[in-house]
Amino acid sequence: MEQLIKAIKSGDITSFSSPSVHVYEASLTQVGKSSLLLVRTEAGKKLIVVGEGELFDQLQGELVDGGKVAPLSHENRLTLNQFLPYTAPQAFGTQVATMGLGDRLGIASPGHIQTIRGKDIRPVLAQQSIRELALTGRTYEDVLDAAAYAVLQEGYKDGYGADGDHLKKEEDIEYALRLGFTMLTLDCSENIDNTIESLTEAEIAAKYEQLPASLRSHYEQRYLQTAPNVPGAALAYTAEALKKDVLIYDAAINFMEAIFRKYIVTLDRAVDFEISIDETATPTSPEAHYLVANELRDRGVVIFSMAPRFCGEFQKGIDYIGDIAQFERELASHAAIAVHFEYKLSIHSGSDKFSVFPLIGQYTNGLFHIKTAGTNWLEAVRVVAKVNPSLYRRMHQYALEHFSEATAYYHVTTDIDAIVPLAEVSDADLPNYMEENNARQLLHITYGLLLQAKNADGSKQFADEFFQTLAEQEDVFAAGLRHHIGRHLDLLGK
């Protein structure tokens, strides 16, 4: 440590080299009379601070050789946010494309930053849903800490966002906002009535008649008596379709407004407020999208983005399933509606949708929000398959045995029987599983079960070895992400 501290003091860290300490050169930062550096030692990542002044005094750590060695703790992250504002998340508004790069492991953000740096798009590095927190056993504090330290590690100063993703409950909204999350994705699925889709026309009409007359006439006047004028969108309301849309979305619109009034308008800072109507059984027609957006605008609800459920299927970790021509037609309308109401179209489960990325880039004119998350976990699994075949085999086997449990959390149409049996695959070919959709989804949706699996003695069955392997392969993992996420960005036109 003495040599390193000397090197930092001299201002020339390139003169330092040690087999047991890896220096993240881009992290070297001066704050007043203190210099700060992030390193990886045999005991994990550490902050090294030398000099004097408030930063030196406030970071909690151990005094060593005239410097301070500080852990990457939650408290120290809060201190960094105070002195280095770029390490705190920010809202982006609607004038720049954004990409959600949810990191379930807390180790993917450096690779994400390397991929996105210098491009015409900003990263939402800290993005997790409550479902993900529950499945990984993490907290929003952990998620923000990991993103902030990644930003410091990479010396990335262009800003990053933090998305409380798929929030349904007020207590979760309060939790995310209290911690400083800068984006809030309101999941309205529990207020969307999916039963309507399966009703007959007569049943729909009867249910609709039960709604207050004033509500019915409000909708009928607005959507049947006046044709919406949205350049680029094909919108045609029929009385039947309108009844359905009102029954499906009216309660959800009330919910969106109530949350906006209680939590967004009252905030003394900017938050990117996203409406998600995608995780539901009901695809969002352009007419339904327009209706929801139009009602929100009339009620003064300002949003950053809207995530409709597109036609076809956006399943996790694999390419788009469906009729691309229909997708293109509807995307053109969805994108035009978003432009009309001055927000961004948001694409959820946006990882690996290579066949439609060019269309998304084209129809949104490059102004979109796209969410990815589990695809970086699959890149991590690919690294394990390459360098630790024994661990990969154990994880794969466990995933097969527990797959049906994971389908309670995610909708996939995986054909488990189509996955080549492990016994028939050589170690060298294990990474190829990550090229095959069924195997991708098998591992994609079982992440929580794998990370939390325990041995009889209570120790982690896979997680410790998994994280150790990834820590040893940090550069390989980052290179995999640059390649994989880079391919997303290229096709999106970024």
Ligand X SMILES: O=C(O)[C@@H](O)[C@@H](O)[C@H](O)C(=O)CO
Out of 196, 373, 384, 470, which residue is the one contacting ligand X (CB under 6 A)? 373
CB of 349 to ligand X, least distance (A): 4
Out of 115, 280, 346, 349, which residue is the one contacting ligand X (CB under 6 A)? 349
386 counts as binding ligand X under rule CB under 6 A = no
Listed in order, strand segments (DSSP E) in 159-200 are 162-167, 183-187
Indicate if 429 belongs to the active site.
no
Of the pair 166, 340, the CB lying nearest ligand X is at 166
Sign of CA dihedral 163, 164, 166, 170: negative
284 counts as binding ligand X under rule CB under 6 A = no
92 SS3 class: coil
Helix (H), strand (E) at residue 61: none
376 counts as binding ligand X under rule CB under 6 A = no
330 counts as binding ligand X under rule CB under 6 A = no
Query: Segment contacting ligand X (CB under 6 A): 87-95, 118-126, 255-263, 367-375?
Result: 367-375
488 counts as binding ligand X under rule CB under 6 A = no
Helix axes 140-154, 74-83, angle to 10 degrees: 50
34 counts as binding ligand X under rule CB under 6 A = no
Q: Which of 378, 412, 386 is nearest to 484 (CA)?
A: 378
Out of 46, 138, 289, 348, which residue is the one contacting ligand X (CB under 6 A)? 348
Query: Segment contacting ligand X (CB under 6 A): 32-40, 189-197, 352-360, 371-379?
Result: 371-379
297 counts as binding ligand X under rule CB under 6 A = no
Of the pair 79, 127, the CB lying nearest ligand X is at 127
Query: Segment contacting ligand X (CB under 6 A): 12-20, 262-270, 296-304, 344-352?
Result: 344-352
Out of 22, 119, 131, 216, which residue is the one contacting ligand X (CB under 6 A)? 131
Of the pair 243, 348, the CB lying nearest ligand X is at 348
144 SS3 class: helix
371 counts as binding ligand X under rule CB under 6 A = yes
CB of 447 to ligand X, least distance (A): 9
Indicate if 313 belongs to the active site.
no
Q: Is 166 annotated as a binding residue?
A: yes
Amino acid (one-letter) located at 325: A
Return d(Cα 473, Cα 147) in angstroms, integer.
19
- Please list, residue by residue across 221-247, b when 16 or more beta carbons sit within 10 angstroms of its beta carbon and e when fewer do: ebbeeeebebeebebebeeebbbbbbb
Site mask, ligand X, residues 62-101, x = CB under 6 A?
A: ----------------------------------------
The CA distances from residue 103 to 143, 157, 179, 268, 374, in Å, are 8, 19, 18, 28, 8
Of the pair 11, 137, the CB lying nearest ligand X is at 137
Out of 89, 102, 164, 308, which residue is the one contacting ligand X (CB under 6 A)? 102
268 SS3 class: coil
Q: Which residues contact 226 (CB under 8 A, 6 or more apart)?
A: none
Q: How much of the chain is in helix, strand and coil states, percent to nearest 5? A: 50, 15, 35
Per the residue annotation, which of 103, 132, 154, 165 is the catalytic one?
A: 165
Out of 46, 112, 138, 166, which residue is the one contacting ligand X (CB under 6 A)? 166
115 counts as binding ligand X under rule CB under 6 A = no
161 counts as binding ligand X under rule CB under 6 A = no
Return d(Cα 123, Cα 410) in angstroms, integer.
24
Provide the total of helices (H) and of strands (E) in the chain, helices listed first: 19, 14
Strands 122-124 and 126-129: unpaired
Out of 103, 145, 154, 165, which residue is the one contacting ligand X (CB under 6 A)? 165
For residues 129 and 183, the answer to whether their CB atoms sit within 8 Å is no
Structure token digits, residue 26: 């881009």
Out of 24, 47, 132, 367, which residue is the one contacting ligand X (CB under 6 A)? 132
Catalytic residue set: 165, 274
For the annotated binding site for a divalent metal cation, the residues are: 166, 316, 348
* Interface contacts to ligand X, rule CB under 6 A: 102, 129, 131-132, 165-166, 348-351, 371-373
